Amino acid sequence: MNSSYLKKTDKAVYDLIKAEEKRQTNQLELIPSENFFSRSVREAVGSVFMHKYAEGNIGKRYYEGNKVVDELETLAITRARKLFKLPKDWDVNIQALAGSNANTAVYLAVLKPGDLMMGMFLPDGGHLSHGWSYDKAKTTSPTDRIYFGGDQKVNLSSKLYKVIQYKTNPKTGLFDYDEIEEIATKYKPKLIITGGTAYPRDIDYIRMKEIAKKCGALYMADIAHEAGLIGSGVLKSPVGIADIVTMTTHKTLRAGRGAIILANKYLIQKINRAILPGLQGGPFNNNIAGICVGLGEALRPDFKRYSRQVIKNAKALAQELKKYGFTIVSDGTDKHLVLINMTSKGVYGKYTAKALDTAGIVLNMNTMPGETRTPADPSAIRLGTPFVTTRGMKEPEMRKIAKLMNAVVEEIRPWAGENFETFMRMVKRSKVIRQVEKDVEKLVRYFPLGL
């Protein structure tokens, strides 16, 4: 990053930026919802577009001076239409500030307060914005096949709407479409949602649309995680099948921070009004500039090669971890993320993630299907390959990463019963973990970031 002026004017922030650059450079970033953006995307996000208010839509702004902003947003929409192969009667909203904002805008557009919506159970891989709530007084039984929520309405979606949630099959970790259909037919939600944060398998969008149609619901596919893989054509697309498609732009799409909503033109008009004045003020034009650049990059042939490699790497990493005795939820992956049930190792999500982070391997603790532990220390860890694939890593490096991960986990297994403070002291004193950290730094030197 060229920040010589910042170094002179605000050395404290400059030093923090440099520290984060060093961290990202020297560690293995395996969080599946993170990626590394090109210099072009970063330059666009840092451009003068950040100075301009642009409330409203193209040609209908509430402020003057938006001719160039209109041209930028038109170009971004054109590129989104091309990348996601939109039907002629579909359109794009590119103004939502983030994925949760995009989802909330859809709810405001198509639901009334108190309407029933149906999404995926959060611990099985769903998302907070799909209606999560819980009950402090009791624990959800893994044998219950429908989740009705609780009195702790932790997200706006559960505060405004009634929610039921479907679960994955407890034996396979996969969607049980017959069961989803049975639930939807019985309770007749107004909106059915697929997508989430930790479901490693492809989704049958056609079947989900049939289920929604049967019970008179709209169907929204949240493809926040898979957007780049779908846009490049290496995963199936819900566009033209689902009624509404939402996504973030910073994960596999690699296009800076923001969100995109796709739907038919009638629904997009309602969604536009839900964005403004319903939910937010002016869009972040500089973020739209970054998204526009990222969409342009995603239309190039090398992005399809990148997307294929993301999946190859995830499959290779899952397969190699299985050889070391790791239990892979759903026994594999179809996309960019891998969910690992750590119960067979006897050391759980929080301790594993913290120890790996100390060794320079960055991933996150996560709940899993059939979860019996708390979200603060769940049974699983979640990892993915978008960032390391952007660095240029391939299958041989996935084998090395699996070996390094196993070395750390085998080292910490005897300490699983210690309290957290004692555990972390042992981690920081461990020669094995220090050696893994050195091995990580040696590995990443061969795959420099484009800073």
Tens-place pLDDT, residues 252-262: 999 999 999 99
Q: Tell me whether residue 155 is in a domain.
A: yes
Same domain, 264 and 336: no
Percentage of the chain lying above the pLDDT 70 cut: 99
User: Smallest Cα–Cα separation from 372: which of 401, 402, 342?
Assistant: 342
Q: pLDDT tens digits, residue range 39-81?
A: 999 999 999 999 999 999 999 999 999 999 999 999 999 999 9
According to the model, what pLDDT value does residue 136 have? 81
Q: Tell me whether residue 385 is in a domain.
A: yes
CATH of the domain at 393: 3.90.1150.10
According to the model, what pLDDT value does residue 318 have? 98
User: Residue 3: pLDDT band by 50, 70, 90 thresholds?
Assistant: low
Round the average pLDDT of the chain to a whole number and report it.
96
Same domain, 334 and 228: no
The pLDDT of residue 281 is above 80? yes
Q: Which two tokens stand for residue 372?
A: 């019996």
Q: What is each CA distance from 292 to 40, 239, 405, 447, in whole angstroms?
A: 10, 19, 37, 26
Q: Tell me whether residue 21 is in a domain.
A: no
CATH of the domain at 223: 3.40.640.10
Q: Tell me whether residue 18 is in a domain.
A: no
Same domain, 279 and 388: no
User: Residue 15: pLDDT band by 50, 70, 90 thresholds?
Assistant: very high
Cβ within 8 Å of residue 92, ≥6 positions away: 77, 80, 81, 86, 260, 261, 262, 268
Residue type at 14 in one-letter notation:
Y
Domain end (from 249, 269, 298): 298
Beta bridge partners of 57: 60
Q: Which two tokens stand for residue 31?
A: 């969080």
According to the model, what pLDDT value does residue 141 have? 74
User: Residue 2: pLDDT band by 50, 70, 90 thresholds?
Assistant: low
Q: Tell me whether residue 30 is in a domain.
A: no
Q: Tell me whether residue 35 is in a domain.
A: no
Report d(CA 318, CA 344) in Å as an integer.
16
Same domain, 90 and 183: yes
According to the model, what pLDDT value does residue 450 have? 84
Q: What is each CA distance from 419 to 53, 183, 423, 425, 426, in whole angstroms?
A: 51, 42, 6, 10, 11
Same domain, 130 and 217: yes
Percentage of the chain lying above the pLDDT 90 cut: 95
What is the domain extent for residue 159?
Answer: 48-298
Lowest average pLDDT, out of 79-83, 143-147, 189-193, 349-353, goes to 143-147
Lowest average pLDDT, out of 138-152, 178-192, 245-259, goes to 138-152
User: Smallest Cα–Cα separation from 74: which of 292, 240, 253?
Assistant: 292
Same domain, 200 and 280: yes
Which residues are tagged catalytic? 53, 55, 222, 248, 251, 257
Domain count, the chain: 2
